Each structure stands twice: as structure tokens, then as C-alpha cells.
Chains A and B, each alone.
Chain A
Amino acid sequence: MHSDSAEVKKSIRTYMMIGLALLAFTGITVAANQFHFGVPVAVAVALIIATMKGSMVASVFMHLSHEKKWVYGALILTVLGFLILMTVPSFTNADSIGQPVPAIGGAPAGGHSGH
């Protein structure tokens, strides 16, 4: 673990560098917003930048890069569960047998396939 003080001193430099990188990426993600990409590209760009930032926080600040097997295992299970939760309800919503009945108010009810 990080009980060795020389190791901790080296890590401090890394923490600062990663902190600066995170701030830089924040600037990039706001700047990217100025370009009006199509929806899929915009989503991809935003998520890629966020994932990179998130990975830096997780692997460096949370020491995940030198964590133990049990923690990795639990997190892999969690990520799988997370991905299932993100994708399957949307797929199920999209795979519909037909259009829902239009509501009296005029606007169609939510959940039609294809956006």
C-alpha cells in the first residue's frame, strides 16, 4: 500500500498533474460545446471526455490502479449492471409493437420508437 512516505511524495506530484489535466479537460468539454455537432457526435465527444476525466479520478485519486482483486471484481460486476441498466430499458422501449394511442391533449405520449 502507500504507507511508504517516499512513494507518497512521488504520488503528490502525480495528484497535482492529474488535477491540472482534469481542469484542462473541463475547459475542452465546454469549448467543444461551442461546435454544433450532430446529436450522436456531440454525445460521443461529451461521454469520451467525461470517461477520460472519470478514469483519471478513479485510477489516480481513488488509487484504483493498484487496488485488490476483490475491489476490481465488485466494480466489474457493478459496471456490467450499470451498462445493462443504461441500455436494456431503452432497447425495450425502442422495440415496440406499434405506436401508442395518441393522448387527448394532443402531444403524443412518450416512448415512441426512433427519435
Chain B
Amino acid sequence: MNIPYTVEERPDTGLTNGKLGIWLFLASEVMLFGALFSTYIILRTGAPEWPHGELNILLGAINTVILITSSVTMVMAWASLKLKDWAKHRLYLIATFVLAGVFLVNKYFEYKDHFDKGEGPWHSTFTAIYFTLTGLHGLHILGGMIVMLYLIGPGARLWKKNPDQFANRIEATGLYWHFVDLVWIFLFPVLYLL
């Protein structure tokens, strides 16, 4: 059965179903991370003291650079597709995937460092919210990587069958990925710098 407006846009809204769907999903994600930011505010304003310098600012900054770069490669992956440059598209998509992996590797070392010092989530409300915020963010990175892997692998076959639908999927993935980058843009100063 054919669901209308899966690939072509509905004239009065100017949207495809997937485009509206992914934005609504991102709206719910804003509220999800919002609850955690709200938690951060309440816990910090209620705490007698709040630690400073417990986090590795350099590593955090490097991760920020990595994620911003991955956002650029992601949007380039979509743009290359629009220009029908399949090779460039593959290059950029795989680059995004690799950068995401490096981010997670950095996070692994950061976490390991804290656990080795006995500073797990149980250690203080600061570490509790730090691990929860970055952990949930990290899970979202992982989720994005899984989707990208599918679109690099078996999912890429759709480009031959229905190029427009494939481009839409890449665009939706891009929107999700930029959102993940956006969350980090706020997470980094809030947790590492303030």
C-alpha cells in the first residue's frame, strides 16, 4: 500500500511525512534533555558547594571540535547526494561515522579516568548529573552511528531504487545528528566550564 507524501511533499504543508516526523521527534528530545538541564539547575542551586576543575576541559573542547566537524561532514554528505556525487556522499557519511566513533572513544577514556579515581555517579550530585547528561548524549551518538551504519551498508541500496527517498533519509539523519551536536554545544560549557 502506498502512503502519500512519503517522498513527494504535500502541497499545502510543503512537507514530507518523514520531515515533519523527524522534527516532532527532535521536539520531544528537546524536552527530554530539557528535563535533565532543569535537574542540573535545581541540583546546582541547591548544593552547598559545586566542584570545579574535576573535568578535563581540553578533552571536552577536542570533542566539541570533533562533533562540529562531524556536523559539517554530515551536511556535506547530504549536499553531495543532492549534487548526485555518490562518491563524495560516501566519503562524507563514513567520515561522520568515524568522527562519531572518535568522540565515543574520548568519552570512554574520560569516564575511565573518573571511575579509576572513584568518582562514579554515586560520588556527588555533580558527577551524577555529569554522567547522566553525557551518558544519555553518548547513547544518542551511538544511536546515530547505528543509523549511519545502516545507511552506509544495506540501506544504501535504496539510492538505486528510490533516490529521492534515500536523500530524504539522509536529510532526516542529518537533522538528528545536528541536534545531537546542538545538545553538546550546550552541554560542554555548562558542565565543563561553568
Contacts and interface: CB of A to CB of B under 8 A. Distances in A.
A29 B185 CA distance: 10
Nearest to A83: B34
Nearest to A46: B189
Contacts of A85: 31, 34-35, 38
Contacts of B79: 8, 11-12, 15
A62 B14 CA distance: 16
A29 B192 CA distance: 11
A11 to B, nearest CB: 7
Q: Is the interface of A mostly helix, strand, loop or mixed?
A: helix
Interface residues of A, number: 54
Given A54-B182, A57-B178, A74 B24 contact: yes
Interface residues of B, number: 51
A114 to B, nearest CB: 9
A78 B27 CA distance: 6
Nearest to B58: A30
Contacts of B104: none
Given A1-B9, A75-B23, 7 more contacts: A16-B72, A70-B15, A74-B20, A78-B27, A81-B31, A82-B30, A89-B41
6 contacts: A15-B79, A57-B181, A61-B181, A68-B13, A86-B38, A86-B41
